[in-house]
Amino acid sequence: MSIVSTKEMLLAAKKEGYAVPAFNIHNLETVQVVAEAAAELMSPLIIAATPSTIQYAGPDYLLAIVDVASRRYGIPIAIHLDHAEEVERIKSLIDLGYKSVMIDASHLPFEENIRMVTEVVEYANRYGVSVEAELGRLGGQEDDLTVDEEDSFYTDPDKAAEFVERTGIDSLAVAIGTAHGLYKSEPKLDFSRLQEIHRKVDLPLVLHGASGIPDQDVKKTIALGIAKVNIATELKIPFAEAVRRYLIEHPEANDPRKYLTPGKNAMREVAKNKIVMCGSNGKA
Ligand code: 13P
């Protein structure tokens, strides 16, 4: 197999009622970890990279690494550009071979969001690239959701239906009470809003900010139409903690193959648990 678009993966997940995990990676080691975890559990996999990760790793380097992973294991693997805000940057990555992109114009007013997303969709369609966009907004200022649940930050179900209709996107990221990063207190998700969006929007829905959300809540969102679950922070933490522990216990260590291995092992266990949580195991 070679790198696939997320489109078919997400439609299959939506149809069968599971979600595909989108794991944010940063380098060779983290790509290896998520690919090994997915291969072991026979799960489809979305490897997600933000613009800053792509800049750090190098767009061609990263694509080549993911390409190797996609050929090595008998599972569908996609590489997805996560939270890109610049249209020209997105187009250049599509030109390079990225097959799935998120245009995040959620900070713009509704009409401008539509305009920018439509421009990306028109370009992406020419190359068979799938497009995710976000309506509603989740971000740093939403970290402590129990304090302020301003409706204006959440996805409006009617607007979502109009947004999907007018843009022609392939998947929709929704804001229903999650936030990026960890939570100071237990997040409260707006399940009835999600249910309403699901009723009005016939597309795979995407849950951002899944780190720190209890498994049973994520499963409930999957039952209500979430077909892609984004996880970053909960993978980074065990990796860093295990490496830190190793370096403290072995102050003389200087071989990356030695001190990175505990990080990889710790991250792989979390990735496997998340795959089972998504119900994508055995679906490859
Ligand atoms: P977390 O860091 O909260 O897991 O969010 C990941 C995400 O949504 C990436 O788009």
Q: Which residue of 180, 184, 235 sits with most ligand 1 atoms within 8 Å of its CB, as the best mutation to test the pocket?
A: 180
84 three-class SS: strand
Cβ of 134 below 6 Å from ligand 1:
no
Residue with tokens 């920018």: 116
Return the CA Rg of the chain: 18
Q: Do 203 and 133 meet the contact criterion of CB atoms below 8 Å apart?
A: no
- pLDDT score for 122: 98
Quote the CA–CA distance of 78 and 53 in Å, as a whole number.
16
Q: pTM of this prediction?
A: 0.95
- pLDDT score for 140: 53
Q: Mind listing the pLDDT tens digit for each residue in 223-282?
A: 999 999 999 999 999 999 999 999 999 999 999 999 999 999 999 999 999 999 999 999
- Say whether 82 is catalytic: yes
Q: Mind listing the pLDDT tens digit for each residue in 12-55?
A: 999 999 999 999 999 999 999 999 999 999 999 999 999 999 99
Cβ of 139 below 6 Å from ligand 1:
no
Cβ of 106 below 6 Å from ligand 1:
no
Cβ of 30 below 6 Å from ligand 1:
no
- pLDDT score for 193: 97
Q: Which residue of 30, 228, 230 sits with most ligand 1 atoms within 8 Å of its CB, as the best mutation to test the pocket?
A: 230
Q: Give the residue from 208, 212, 209 showing the smallest Cα distance to 184.
A: 212
Cβ of 208 below 6 Å from ligand 1:
yes
> Which residues make Cβ contacts (< 8 Å) with residue 214, sequence separation at least 6?
186
How far apart are the CA of 48 and the centre of ligand 1, in A?
A: 10
| For the CA of 24, the nearest atom of ligand 1 | 9
Distances from the Cα of 77 to the Cα of 42, 159, 213, 257, 275, angstroms = 11, 32, 25, 25, 14
